A and B are shown apart, each in its own frame.
Chain A
């Protein structure tokens, strides 16, 4: 990802995937992948996956960029700032995408907030 571009930052896919924003967490929340949930680059199929108990979730480049920043230290706000700076994209749109993705995964217990 040397060019620091992800094609276009298209939030629609995440809004679909994540569903609601009503439970949007505070910006100070620190998202993390719990034990038993792993990001994996699947070399056989050439794609990024999120592995969880009995679940395999295919990830697009945007989801990977978000989840790679969920290191158990960064707040949601910091993650959004970093993505906005890295991809020179609209911060409000990134904020929406990040929350939609993380809320959707939290509902499936694949992310702890």
Chain B
């Protein structure tokens, strides 16, 4: 029916260098089963993975975690990526960085830093991450990044505890000297599902935050680029998750598993390959997990006959599985999904929870390994 489409080469690699992190953000996208330090692949293996990625056409290397600064070899990895022409983006909480370390990373050829800031109010930020003093350390890290001459993006994940300050976080980002800010409403994966009832704002709260941030685009035109990820639970159609399954980017976990996205392992029927046993090229083109949802042949109705199937690809496979138990179902965020009322019920529940005030978070069981810079 459909002519086979040639699989495009990947443009981005999200390297989860470690799952270790001193913070416990309640929406953390890491899996509930965190990979241990002893299972992490070594520097040499990572460097091989990056070389294979560059040869495969990857342009951006996103160095993430957990907290990537927990890896003592971070600077060596950055230097290797720079030497082979990869664009390096450090995705950090700021905890574990020092002024000297930021300078050393800049000297090693780091291209860009994305710093998470969980709230513009210090006490709320510290509560969200479950780490006293985190806000002040983040502010210091932002200063060191700017002083090192590196471009800074602030990443702010929006949920009920900070939804009233979405605009304030744009202003804070400008004050910190960031050239770009991501205002990203929480997506419910990993720990985000566990904490969904505590995190989800009401539709009215989300709408007000979105309007405020959109208005700031004009205010700060040419000053800061605003990337805005709006929540899908209140949408009519699903998001084109990852720009299509295994179509643009891939993840490698701390232990070396190649995944199409950070949540892919939540679909238990899928088989993923490890970089210890396979080249990245093999993983990208030939591993069963990557090929599971490429194209449109796997789709069921209402996606199969939908004229949007090449626009949003039926939405998110992980969300479809999490909410319906069937990874081939339409993402129930879509109003055409037979399970759409489940999403509506969850959103309604959020409104009721909101009236009860702020429930406690379930913090991820952090393996609080001391960081080298501490």
Contact = CB atoms under 8 A, between A and B. Distances in A.
B56 interface: yes
A35 B360 CA distance: 41
Interface size class of B (residues with CB under 8 A): 20 to 34
A30 interface: no
A38 B225 contact: no
B104 to A, nearest CB: 16
A91 B45 CA distance: 53
Contact of B225 (A44, A49, A109): A109
A37 B222 CA distance: 15
Contact of B221 (A53, A54, A107): A107
A49 B150 CA distance: 21
A36 B111 contact: yes
A45 interface: yes
Contact of B60 (A37, A51, A106, A109): A51
Given A34-B151, A107-B222, A53 B114 contact: yes
A53 B112 contact: yes
Interface in A24-63: 34-38, 40, 42, 44-45, 49, 51, 53-54, 56
Given A38-B111, A108-B225, A51 B59 contact: yes
Interface size class of A (residues with CB under 8 A): 10 to 19
Interface string A65-77: 0000000000000
A44 B9 contact: yes
Main secondary structure of the interface of A (DSSP, over half): loop
Contacts of A34: 151, 179
Main secondary structure of the interface of B (DSSP, over half): loop
A56 B59 contact: yes
Given A36-B151, A44-B9, A109-B224, A54 B89 contact: yes
A36 B57 contact: no
Contacts of A23: 222
A67 B250 CA distance: 30
Nearest to B55: A44
Interface string B48-59: 000000011101
B9 A45 contact: yes
B51 to A, nearest CB: 14
B99 interface: no
A109 B180 contact: yes
Q: Rank and list the top 7 A-B pairs by shortest CB-CB distance, nearest first.
A: A44-B57, A36-B151, A36-B112, A109-B179, A53-B112, A51-B87, A109-B225
